[in-house]
Amino acid sequence: MEIKETLDCKGLSCPMPMMKLAKTIKGLNSGEVLEMIGTDPGTKSDLPKWCEKTGNALVEEGEVEAGVFRFLIQKK
């Protein structure tokens, strides 16, 4: 899967990761994939809920290293 853009939210706490995510996804075309990397545990529950609500697909969710989460989101 081709990653169109990577959004680095490491070190940021609520609400910055979700704000940056919502803004960045706006700039993508339908079907394109955004990679988001972050360290705020809140994102682990906020992001899937937001995807469900907005219809964007959460394609992958995992931990790249201790405490660093990675999400792949495909725009609706």
Partner 1 sequence: MADQKKEPGILQELFNTFFAKHWPVWVGGVTLGLLNILLFTVKSPWGASGGINNWGENIFKLMGISAFENAAPTGTSLYGMLCLLIILGSFAGALFSKEFALRIPPKGELVKGFIGGALMAIGATLGLGCTIGSFFSGVPALSGGAIIFTIGLFAGTIIALKYLIWEMEKFPSFSSGKSFTFLAASEKKGQWQIWLGWIVSIGTFILAYRVAGTNGVLAWFIISGLLMGLICQRSRFCIVKAFRDPFMTGESDGSVGVMAGLLIGLIGFTAIKFFGIGAGETSIRAREMSWVFGQFWLRGLLGGFIFGLGMTVAGGCAVGTLWRVGEGQVKLWMAALGFLLISPISKHYIVPSIVEALPFTTKFKSYLPDYFGYAGAVLIVLAIILIWYVFVKWNERTGKFSAF
For residue 6, is it left (φ>0), alpha (ψ between -120 and 50) or beta?
beta
To partner 1, the closest distance from the beta carbon of 3 in angstroms equals: 19
Indicate if 9 belongs to the active site.
no
The reply on whether position 76 binds partner 1 by CB under 8 A is: no
C-alpha to C-alpha distance for 11 and 2, rounded to whole angstroms: 26
Structure tokens at 3: 């990653």
Annotated catalytic residues are: 14
Residues that bind partner 1 (CB under 8 A): 8, 10-16, 18-20, 22-23, 26, 39-42, 44-46, 49-50, 53, 63, 65-68
